[in-house]
Amino acid sequence: MRIHLKRIIDNSYDIRFVNNISEAGADIRSTYPDARVFIITDVNVGKHYAGPFARCVSGRTAPAYVLRIPAGEASKNRTMKESLEDQLISLGATRNSVIVALGGGMIGDLAGFVAATLHRGVSFIQIPTSLLAQVDSSIGGKVAVDHPQGKNLIGAFFQPKKVYIDVSTLKTLPDGEFRNGMAEVIKYGAILDGKLFTFLEKNRAAILRKNPNIMHAIIERCCELKRAVVEKDEREVDYRRILNFGHTIGHAVEQVSNYRIAHGKAVAIGMAAEAKVSTALGILSSNDAARLEDALKAFGLATSFPAKMRTTAIFDMTLRDKKTQQGKVHYTLLEKIGKARVGVPMSRVRAQELFER
């Protein structure tokens, strides 16, 4: 006998720009008037936003709870997921409950994965408060935890019901975190939008001042670019790998550093390295590689491997990349500023040899 499971699924959702977090809170409560709402945040973000936000979400009969966890990538693991699940179940979370991720990429990935498996899936909302999460990780439904063997090795595709972006949260974002986000912004320009890249080059000072209008325009453009990628290839069968430019080597650097080097910073190093590989392969001009490196440096990002890190250790680590098949690491490389090439298979030895040329 055959079980027929062909389905047409509508996972569409809105990204809504709000003037403040309270606006998001009020909207959530009116969309889910009777649901228990569980806000998962980290201690840093929670300090600024959790209290006021929870007050807006709390209904007379349907309370809101705040679950705080330590900040940093080290919290994105199975133990923390289990601890959140225990708390959610003991606080009475049901299938009709709503989980809100209030924070940066780590919180979104972890809370999203909790939401994906609790009661086989509960409504999930993203309120990204870091630049990196606003332009990238809150959109597209990738949720996961890390494993000692690699980053994001255990996870799911689980789309949020809505994403609320409040650009003013960048005011409380530490400078290092802002730079991490800029690495992903530069990535969008490099792989998909030469005009955005030039805009970043020309508006460096205003961006570093976090000028709200300019940041709003940049974030909105990045969301449009990510939307177009995700709409074409939600499950990363092929095209979505374009977003992995800089990430194969970047993830390796992040892991070799034991997550002491933050994601965005590692991706900047990875982009510079993968641009070098692209140039050595003859598909990227050295002029465009230099433009990329200059842009990364202009936003305070490093472009070479940390002095104490062995190049061989980094390339060995790339073999653990999820996209590695039969010993070949699949790279996204750059053809020019604004255009990338997806899925270039290379042995780890060949990639290192091109990098060192």
List residues binding ligand GLY (CB under 6 A).
136-137, 140, 142, 240, 243
Active site residue 247: yes
**Which of 46/270 has CB closer to ligand GLY?**
270
**Which of 38/245 has CB closer to ligand GLY?**
245
Active site residue 244: yes
Closest contact distance (angstroms) between CB of 137 and ligand GLY is: 6
Strand partners, 336: 339
Which residue of the set 76, 251, 291, 348 is catalytic? 251
Report d(CA 248, CA 271) in Å as an integer. 9
3-state secondary structure of 238: coil
Closest contact distance (angstroms) between CB of 93 and ligand GLY is: 27
Closest contact distance (angstroms) between CB of 259 and ligand GLY is: 17
Which residue of the set 263, 265, 291, 348 is catalytic? 263
**Which of 35/243 has CB closer to ligand GLY?**
243
Which residue of the set 184, 254, 274, 293 is catalytic? 184
Active site residue 203: no
Helix H or strand E segment including 155: strand 150-157
**Which of 29/142 has CB closer to ligand GLY?**
142
Report d(CA 313, CA 327) in Å as an integer. 16
Which residue of the set 120, 171, 258, 308 is catalytic? 120
**Which of 137/318 has CB closer to ligand GLY?**
137
Active site residue 47: no
Active site residue 235: no
Note whether 328 and 351 are within 8 A (CB).
no
Active site residue 48: no
In angstroms and rounded to an integer, the radius of gyration of the C-alpha atoms of the chain is 20
Helix residue ranges, H only, the chain: 21-31, 43-57, 78-90, 105-117, 131-132, 175-192, 194-202, 204-208, 212-232, 247-256, 263-280, 286-298, 311-318, 348-356
Contact partners, residue 353, CB within 8 Å, separation at least 6: none
Closest contact distance (angstroms) between CB of 353 and ligand GLY is: 27
Strand partners, 341: 333
Closest contact distance (angstroms) between CB of 204 and ligand GLY is: 24
**Which of 36/265 has CB closer to ligand GLY?**
265
Which residue of the set 81, 221, 247, 291 is catalytic? 247
Residue nearest to ligand GLY (CB): 243
Closest contact distance (angstroms) between CB of 78 and ligand GLY is: 21
Please return the burial class of 230, using the count of CB atoms within 10 Å of its CB with bins 0-12, 13-18 and 19+: buried
Strands 14-17 vs 98-103: parallel, antiparallel or unpaired: unpaired
Report d(CA 149, CA 252) in Å as an integer. 11
Active site residue 119: no
Report d(CA 347, CA 357) in Å as an integer. 16
Which residues participate in catalysis according to the annotation? 120, 142, 184, 226, 236, 240, 244, 247, 251, 263
